[in-house]
Homo-oligomer: A and B are copies of this chain.
Amino acid sequence: MKSPTELTEAFRANGLKVTPQRQLLFRLMHGNTMHPTAEALFSDASTQMPGISLRTVYQTLTDLASMGELRLIDVGAGAVRFDPNVDDHHHVVCEMCGDVRDVYVAGSQNLSIDGLDGFAVDSTSILFHGSCAKCA
């Protein structure tokens, strides 16, 4: 994800306005490795800006996602999570505490895959399920 300053430029360039709510969310997501849910971010944002709406958090996150500045990740645990890391990477989720971390996978071009006939594949997501060091 771009820096808050760069995002300000990018939003204006796209005809979108840069409000205090959005700037706060830019800062909260920049460099964030927590893979937060919308609710979690809303909670964080609320401490710094009481009265901010959950709807606004969702709105801004989906705007960022559609600009390619964030990735949505679904670990099958109810709520979607947001990841400012847009590198080509995957995830591991702890089934006990729900913690999610980034995983880098190399060598996938050597996989032998059967069943993709007729499909044009756009993207691949690999999700590892297990238990983290703390929960083991």
Contact = CB atoms under 8 A, between A and B. Distances in A.
Contacts of A44: none
A131 B119 CA distance: 6
A33 to B, nearest CB: 11
Contacts of A112: 105-107
A121 B127 contact: no
Interface residues of A, number: 38
B125 A124 contact: no
A104 B115 contact: yes
Contact of A115 (B101, B111, B114): B101
Interface string A99-136: 00111111110111111101111111111111111001
Contacts of A95: 122
How many copies of the shown chain assemble into the complex?
Answer: 2
Interface of A: 74, 76, 89, 92, 94-95, 101-108, 110-116, 118-133, 136
- Max count, chain B CB within 10 A of own CB: residue among A89, A105, A106, A122: A105
Smallest CB-CB A-B distances: 10 pairs: A118-B133, A103-B115, A121-B130, A106-B112, A74-B76, A104-B114, A107-B111, A119-B130, A122-B130, A123-B129
Contact of A107 (B102, B110, B120): B110
21 contacts: A74-B74, A92-B115, A92-B116, A94-B119, A95-B122, A101-B115, A101-B119, A103-B114, A105-B113, A105-B114, A106-B114, A110-B110, A118-B132, A118-B136, A119-B128, A121-B129, A122-B129, A122-B130, A122-B131, A125-B127, A125-B129
